Amino acid sequence: MNTYYTVERNVQIVISLLKEYGVKRVIVSPGTTNITFVASIQQDSYFKMYSAADERSAAYIACGLAAESGEPVALSCTGATASRNYVPGLTEAYYRKLPVVAITACHRSVEVGQNIAQVLDRTQIQKDIAKCSVLVPMVFDQNDEWNCILKVNKALTELTRNGGGPVHINLESKFSKDYSIKSLPGVRKITHVSGNDIYPVIPQGRIAIYCSSHQKWKEDEVESLDRFCATNNAVVLCDHTSNYKGKYRVLSALIFSQAHLSELANVDLLIHIGSISGDYYTSVHIKPKQVWRVNEDGEIRDTFRKLTHVFEMSEKDFFLHYSNSVSSNISNIECYKNEYERIAASIPDVPFSNIYIAKTLAPQLPKQSVLHLGILNSLRSWNFFEIDKTILSYSNVGGFGIDGDMSSLIGASLANPEKLYFGVFGDLAFFYDMNSLGNHNIRNNVRILLINNGRGTEFRNYSHDASRFGDDADLYIAAAGHYGNKSPELVKHYATDLGFEYLSASSKEEFDKCYQKFILEQITNKPILFECFTDTVDENDALYKINHIVEKEFNDYVTELKTATKKIARQVLGDGNIQKIKTKIQ
């Protein structure tokens, strides 16, 4: 009977990535739990294997072999107390920064603590025996496989990162007896790049930078990014929290929100900078062939599940490095800008809603002001419309909660009393954090826009899973009817008693009459709170119309084409012949 690789996919992933990272020396101790790993690699000529019955000795052998050869060395042991005997040797490796991979085999983690023989808890290890410890579980679906690939990449990257050192992989097994896999399926390696490492070559094709929420940009940082874009024909896909205002900026949510997506979603290389983004449309619908993440933390963050390289360095250093040669990549910026402008020019009339308000106010916000946007409807609505390049924007997308949106706005406003600070929040977020308005430090430079639709309207939108429940979603999922149930007096009294000037609107006509006061460039005698009452049906309809602009254009085009075709047919064939054709068809 021929023996090849085990069918256990998590074991295959470990073996494949050991080869990708150049780990060919393996010191094996006897056992049953690690049999699928050992039996698989012993028939693979890539690996140089050594046997050591005593795990304590095996770990020290690995130290000596790694130090002398200058290469990483792997260890493999069974379950029970076998792994405990690695501790002295791994401690030695830790303080000498030796690249040793301890692969400890184990039963399924669900068996831990159930009085099952040879099952130990390895979830906690000493701090000074491994730089990184990961559990590589069994694979049952694509998410499990993705999880395993990331964890093994993370562990093996740490072998050499920042001076290197030992790592630990706890590898689950179900002891499959099937060794029928003749060749290992490909596994994506995530390469770490820093310092004097060899930099990969920028691929040919469409290059885009995806800029998530970002700290304030320094002038030289913007210059380095602009220079990179000019050199590589790249574009910067942004939402408002990116705060990049260079000439290669495109506010991409409107493009990627369309039900019929543009071919601009296909990207050959996506360079990911910044942290978390609230622009779901771009992050979900963009289709990169590969992703490079650039961040000084050097961590693996596989947002798009196509990560191939992590650059542990400043964005400025990265962009300057790749700005030294002329690229033949296709030109991007005009394509994306033209697409945005084409869709923006076709935005239909929408009902009174967060989107209508954003469409009206975004181009009129005072220059040099600051904008804070609440999660999630407000952030999404305003991401469709461009604001002045002098305006900085923020949102609590780190923890992505509604509990401190106004407090963050107020905190920011204290930094510069001479600058206007605008905040846009839904009613649940507002009432969650309304105690912050009682803070006596609030100055007159604060302007709050409250979109009060009496519920978490997000859960009533056609695009949300909860919408299938209709009005029943209001009971608990959307939390409708709380906080005065859209009372026209509750917030008014609260705000005025706290020293705010209060404005309100329940329709486009009322809004158009008073919004100019809300966006006055001058700081007024009081902070302002502007409450706008909207309806969840209108909010949903507005979002649907925004998401189907391209579809409407396409349908209009088809209608026009049909009309033109009929007209030409009548001119060529005549009404009589057309009627004869219709009769024969029937």
Residue among 266, 295, 254, 263 at smallest CA distance from 208: 266
Residue 539 tokens read as 């909010």
Distance between CA atoms of 192 and 515, rounded to whole angstroms? 51
Distance between CA atoms of 296 and 293, rounded to whole angstroms? 10
Q: Is the pLDDT of residue 505 over 60?
A: yes
Average pLDDT rounded to a whole number, residues 6-14: 98
pLDDT tens-digit map of 447-477: 999 999 999 999 999 999 999 999 999 999 9
Q: Is the pLDDT of residue 559 over 50?
A: no
**pLDDT-wise least confident of 20-24, 44-48, 104-108:** 104-108
In angstroms, what CA-CA distances link 51 with 27, 40, 256?
6, 15, 56
Average pLDDT rounded to a whole number, residues 469-489: 95
pLDDT of residue 554: 45
CATH code linked to domain 354-545:
3.40.50.970
Q: Is the pLDDT of residue 569 over 60?
A: no
Residue 546 tokens read as 């925004």
Average pLDDT rounded to a whole number, residues 29-43: 97
188 versus 401: the higher-pLDDT residue is 188
Q: Is the pLDDT of residue 566 over 50?
A: no
Give me the CATH topology for the region 9-177: Rossmann fold (3.40.50)
pLDDT of residue 576: 57
Residue among 563, 540, 541, 544 at smallest CA distance from 552: 544
Distance between CA atoms of 294 and 310, rounded to whole angstroms? 6
Q: Is the pLDDT of residue 256 over 60?
A: yes
Q: Is the pLDDT of residue 582 over 90?
A: no
Task: Measure the N-to-C terminal CA separation of the chain; round to a whole number of Å.
Answer: 67
- Of the pLDDT bands very low, low, confident and very high (cuts 50, 70, 90), residue 353 is very high
In angstroms, what CA-CA distances link 155 with 9, 101, 102, 557?
18, 8, 10, 54
Average pLDDT rounded to a whole number, residues 96-123: 88
Please give the mean pLDDT across all residues of the chain: 92
Distance between CA atoms of 148 and 169, rounded to whole angstroms? 11
Q: Is the pLDDT of residue 562 over 50?
A: no
Handedness of CA 322, 315, 276, 429 (dihedral sign): negative
Distance between CA atoms of 145 and 520, rounded to whole angstroms? 54
Q: Is the pLDDT of residue 518 over 90?
A: yes
pLDDT tens-digit map of 143-168: 999 999 999 999 999 999 999 999 99
Residue among 137, 132, 124, 131 at smallest CA distance from 14: 137
Average pLDDT rounded to a whole number, residues 422-440: 96
pLDDT of residue 580: 54
Evaluate whether the domain defined by 207-343 bears CATH number 1.10.1200.10: no
Average pLDDT rounded to a whole number, residues 400-417: 95
pLDDT of residue 575: 59
**pLDDT-wise least confident of 256-260, 288-292, 324-328:** 324-328
Distance between CA atoms of 261 and 256, rounded to whole angstroms? 6
pLDDT of residue 123: 81
Whole-number CA gyration radius for the chain: 30
Residue 49 tokens read as 């294997």
Helix residue spans in 158-294 (DSSP H) = 219-232, 253-256, 280-285
pLDDT tens-digit map of 181-211: 999 999 999 999 998 899 999 999 999 999 9
pLDDT tens-digit map of 61-104: 999 999 999 999 999 999 989 999 999 999 999 999 999 999 99
Orientation angle between helical segments 508-518 and 354-361, nearest 10 degrees: 40
Residue among 539, 581, 557 at smallest CA distance from 346: 557
Distance between CA atoms of 115 and 128, rounded to whole angstroms? 29
551 versus 51: the higher-pLDDT residue is 51
pLDDT of residue 561: 40
pLDDT tens-digit map of 303-320: 999 999 999 999 999 999
Which residues, in sequence order, are CB contacts of 116 under 8 Å at separation 6+? 107
